[in-house]
Structures are given as structure tokens and as C-alpha cells.
Amino acid sequence: MESEIPSHKSHYVYILQCADGSLYTGYTTEIQRRLKQHRIGKGAKYTRGRCPIELVYWEEGADRSWGLKREEQIKRLQRSAKESLILFGNASVQATLMK
């Protein structure tokens, strides 16, 4: 997955899997830079003590407003829905939410 990470600036929401198995969701405009920050302990306080981390999901959106809203949507999902999102993409979460 990491070989596919775009290097251009845009608006991204991403999910990291931490060493303890927990999932962290965040928003950024430069996903490669942010991933490096998490890995060297300069990212979110939550991930600092949970390294190594792995990028398991990301999606790109239109603007900051979209990114912050989407980050909040994903953070509110149950873990099982986040795992479906990671495995199958957005369509799986929509199906889960409609049940």
C-alpha cells in the first residue's frame, strides 16, 4: 500500500494500524510527510507510544472541509466497520451503515 502513496499535496484521510493493534484515523494535506512524522514520534500523541505504525488505508478528497468531516465520520465507526473499510474500501462501509 505504501508504494502507492501520492506525493502531491491534496486532502487525505488515513488510517494507521499501531503496534498494539489499535487503529488511528487522521487528516493531512501531505500524506507522506505526515506518515514520516508519525514514525519518528512527531505525529499525534496517540501514536507516539504505539510504534511501529503501518498505513493501512487512505482516501483523497476535494478540500479541507471534506477531510475534516470524513475524518470524523471514520472515527465514529465501530472497529468492525473500520476493518471493512480497510479491506474492501468505501462501498463496504456504506453497506454496513445501511443495515
pTM of structure: 0.85
CA dihedral 5, 90, 55, 35 (to 10 degrees): 60
CB 9 within 8 A of CB 30: yes
pLDDT of residue 98: 46
Identify the architecture of domain 2-98 in CATH.
Answer: 3-Layer(aba) Sandwich (3.40)
The domains of the chain are located at 2-98
pLDDT tens, N- to C-terminus, the chain (99 residues): 555 777 778 999 999 999 999 999 999 999 999 999 999 989 899 999 899 999 999 999 999 999 999 999 999 999 999 999 999 886 555 554 444
